[in-house]
A and B are shown apart, each in its own frame.
Chain A
């Protein structure tokens, strides 16, 4: 990794949002344990080195190739928590409109229904067959969740 003068925007982001990234010693342990990298997905060690050096923002598409298995953070000997740094970089990318369509739909579903997965006709049929409670999300829960979304970051991704 070529060390260049830190991009001031990255420097500011590191200081305010992800100071733990600066603890990265570039040992490569995260790369060794990452199942996504093994199959051509995200490259956590390269990403950490690049960001911590302030060399440039990572490719925004690659950020969504992390399966969040947390192996990298578990194995990181420096407390740099690559998994959490990737999560924070995702949040930044999402704010710039760079996010998978699937997650935009999921955000909308959470806002409208209080759930990440849809209830379907099959849900109702199976629950009845198994003698389970209907299990609808209550009006109160829905009202409260929508209000939280409006007041927090996910509000950027939903339509009323």
Chain B
């Protein structure tokens, strides 16, 4: 596998939150990570709704993306918790030879084959493995107290993802500390932001959001820190009267010297004063 990566930005970030993509690219560039966009990429398939309507569509679509990365001999970097879980769970399911054969029978019809050679890295995981480079790239420490909210699908299912623990996760906090931030944790078991019910049942989604929103508000943090665009939308747009939110790559980009307007911080609804 080559040292270069394919960047897979997903759906939600490139269509609705392109500023999160801008901050991610800024961070990768500052770290000297070689990457290009995953060719012929499409949706991961979205793992909350679509995956549960048709497991096979999700599995074959995700396998197609993994197969494309294999053809280019590169690993994938994801920017979204949903994409990360989707691709990692698919790769896990495809370890079963019978499942793989069935999936490859369909992929064969579009001229693709999955062989199981590509690894999928979530941006926080990639950063956590490069402490020295990340610390060296920080030119403007952001000494803000933040409350970390890793989001469900960076953590669970932990047996498959293996990136951090469900109980007392620490990866996001550790990376934030390299940017000069202090973090507080409002919850031992990070609770669901309700994003998975958005569009399906708004009232219940809002009730779920209210739990973490309230505990974050009294945590002592001045902003919520999350690596997930679904959590970001819940806290930035749906939440009323709560703390502003920063996407993990935004914090790191700011600490690495990005001008706030260069990474689109002005597009947050709930403005953050730095």
Contact = CB atoms under 8 A, between A and B. Distances in A.
Interface of A: 33, 35-36, 38-41, 64-71, 73-74, 86-88, 90-91, 94, 99-100, 102-103, 106-107, 110, 114-120, 123, 126-127, 129-133, 135, 137-138, 140-145, 147-149, 151-157
Given A39-B204, A74-B157, A154-B54, A141 B15 contact: no
B208 interface: yes
Contact of B42 (A38, A88, A115): A115
A110 B196 contact: no
Interface of B: 9, 11-12, 14-16, 18-19, 21-22, 25, 37, 39-43, 45-57, 60-61, 64, 106, 109-110, 112, 152-153, 156-158, 166, 189, 191-192, 194-197, 199-201, 204-205, 207-208, 211, 263-264, 267
B11 A64 contact: no
Contact of A74 (B9, B64, B166): B166
Where chain A touches its partner, the secondary structure class is helix
A66 B194 CA distance: 9
26 contacts: A33-B189, A35-B208, A41-B197, A65-B200, A67-B195, A67-B196, A68-B152, A70-B157, A73-B156, A74-B156, A74-B157, A90-B52, A90-B53, A94-B53, A102-B200, A103-B53, A107-B53, A110-B50, A114-B42, A114-B43, A116-B49, A126-B264, A130-B263, A148-B64, A152-B56, A156-B54
A141 B52 contact: no
Contacts of B48: 67-68
A17 to B, nearest CB: 10
Contacts, number: 193
A107 B197 CA distance: 16
A117 to B, nearest CB: 5
Contact of B61 (A103, A123, A133, A145): A145
B106 A132 contact: no
B52 A117 contact: no
A9 to B, nearest CB: 20
B146 to A, nearest CB: 22
A152 to B, nearest CB: 4
A152 B208 contact: no
A150 to B, nearest CB: 10
Q: Nearest 5 pairs between A and B by C-beta?
A: A153-B54, A114-B42, A69-B192, A67-B196, A70-B156
B150 to A, nearest CB: 12
Given A71-B192, A110-B43, A154-B53, 11 more contacts: A39-B208, A68-B48, A103-B49, A106-B50, A106-B199, A119-B15, A123-B18, A133-B37, A143-B110, A144-B64, A148-B64
